Amino acid sequence: MTIIVAGTVDVDPARRDEAIAAGRPHIETARAEKGCLHYVWSADNIDPGRIYVFEEWQSTEDLAAHLRADPYFKMRDTIAQFGIRGADTKKYEIRRSQAVYDKTGTPRADFFEE
């Protein structure tokens, strides 16, 4: 089972790019942690203060270990320095996944392979 963490963090728009740059060392450390498949902070192209967070973990246990680890606390402390105005992140259990495009290259919303 895969765990996805996805959401947004809103910071002072004048400092968003600085916040993303300051988070880079923590992101790199998280990416090296056991079970981390993806860990990304990215800027919203329209909202100048919004950062999107996307993480993918191999298991709940791997995410739990990350949330107890020093890099997580350093990341949290780092982003807090940039005037957090709001945050909304959620975790999801993924029990099934599949490519969006089928063998013909057609995008599909349904799960077309068993």
Mean pLDDT, all residues of the chain = 95
Token pair for 70: 């020093």
pTM of the predicted protein model: 0.89
- At 38-58, the pLDDT tens digits run 999 999 999 999 999 999 999
- At 7-23, the pLDDT tens digits run 999 999 999 999 999 99
Q: How far apart are CA 74 and CA 77, in angstroms?
A: 5
Q: How far apart are CA 45 and CA 49, in angstroms?
A: 10
The pLDDT value recorded for residue 114 is: 75
Fold of the 2-94 domain = Alpha-Beta Plaits (3.30.70)
- At 65-99, the pLDDT tens digits run 999 998 899 999 999 999 999 999 999 999 889 99
